[in-house]
Amino acid sequence: MHIVVGGGRVGRRIAEMLNDCIIVEKSREQYESLKDSGLNVVLGDATQRELWERLPVKDSVIILATNNDLVNLKIAKVVRDFEPGDMVARIESEVYQKQYQNLGVRGVTCGKSIASDLIHELIESKRRYFEIAVSKNNFADVRLSDLNVGDDCTIILIYREGKIFRPHPDFILEEGDVIGIICGREVKKTKNPFDEILLVIRHPENYDEVLKEANSISRIVDADLLILHKHDGKILCSFQADSIEEMELSEALEILNTLEDKVDLVMTDPPKAKVEFDPKIFRKFPILFARGKTYYSEILAIVNTSNPEEILNYATSFANYFGRCKIVFLDSNQLKTSSFVVESPTVEITVTKFNPLVEIVREVKREYDLLIFSISNDIGNLDQEFLWKFILETRSSVLVVR
């Protein structure tokens, strides 16, 4: 049995992924909402002993999902007398880490705690896919932004005359199109470019600048943000970091190697000098080297890979959320063979005409807010040294994908 305390966003999502779960919620309004959703919920104050006396606490897993450390700690002091099997807390500040430990409560520690496993579970759900044919009397001439497919469904592609089009709000449907729709309890990852963002802070002096960008991006795309950092000699993952210690690259990589499929994007401060990254780390998730931007008004995507789909996906997603994106193909054959046709009023597509390296360097000097390129770098004869210069010497944030 799992008992989740707090029926807010995090608590609700955890409960939806568990079969044997009771939610404890103090707010009557929130209680009614949870009940209407079909969830097993109890109305009451979790800081009061009387409530726990009527719940099956013994050997159960207690998940403290409120966003208040002091409330969590108060609840934990009451619950431990009822012999739960385990207690896990959503820790907002590592200042309270030792107090949690003294009460036998495990915090959100990336890759090692049950909380991290639950976050992983939340983005893994059964989905079903189906298609709708557009006819003269069924959606023809309708703009996608005017087509409501429901909260639990999202349009992921449109087939037209043998080509695949990525959806964007201004796309106009035509007779003969086929709309590809995916549905399930969790489609947020499909609708948003990122669902879970992990901010890795290696250098304390960069914390404020990088956190500013991470907070802005997570808020705009409606993603959860966790912070991986070093405190008191330990690597922690928290919702808030009040103090930061210098973290070695090897320490960060050791944790990141355990997180494949658990986070959608890693954001971090740029290294002080070129470092030897294992290319495999970029195949687990994209890494964004942040420069303190609060918005990406101008985006440049460099298609330096023979498999451009992932770059095109990120480029169009960022363009839809932020601003203008210029996509530069380094070989005209890439554009001919790509299975994705990008059609969006916020995206401009160009192809280098002469020397790709010279043209890309010239373009990068325009100081875009965000650069996107691939770690594979197997098209266009771009020297790896120049890619590192883009990361180390420009004022652009840089997203590196597989």
Quick one: pLDDT at residue 46? 94
Owning domain of residue 150: 127-184
List Cβ neighbours of 293 (8 Å cut-off, separation of 6 or more).
213, 216, 369, 370, 397
Residues 330 and 362 placed together within one structural domain of the fold: yes
Quick one: pLDDT at residue 211? 92
Residue 208 pLDDT > 80, yes or no?
yes
CA 240-261-278 angle, to 5 degrees, is: 90
Average pLDDT over residues 38-64: 91
- Model confidence at 299, pLDDT cuts 50, 70, 90, reads very high
- Among the three residues 260, 289, 318, which one is the final residue of a domain in this structure? 289
Residues 371 and 347 placed together within one structural domain of the fold: yes
The number of C-alpha atoms within 13 Å of 367 and in the hemisphere containing its C-beta is 4
Domain with residue 137: its CATH number is 3.30.70.1450
- Model confidence at 368, pLDDT cuts 50, 70, 90, reads very high
Residues 310 and 361 placed together within one structural domain of the fold: yes
Dist CA 53 CA 259 (whole Å): 38
Dist CA 329 CA 29 (whole Å): 52
Residue 112 belongs to a domain: no
- Among the three residues 269, 289, 309, which one is the final residue of a domain in this structure? 289
Q: What is the pTM of this model?
A: 0.58
Residue 258 belongs to a domain: yes
Tell me the per-residue pLDDT of 132-142, one tens digit each, with 9 for 90 and over. 788 887 788 88
- Among the three residues 289, 319, 353, which one is the final residue of a domain in this structure? 289
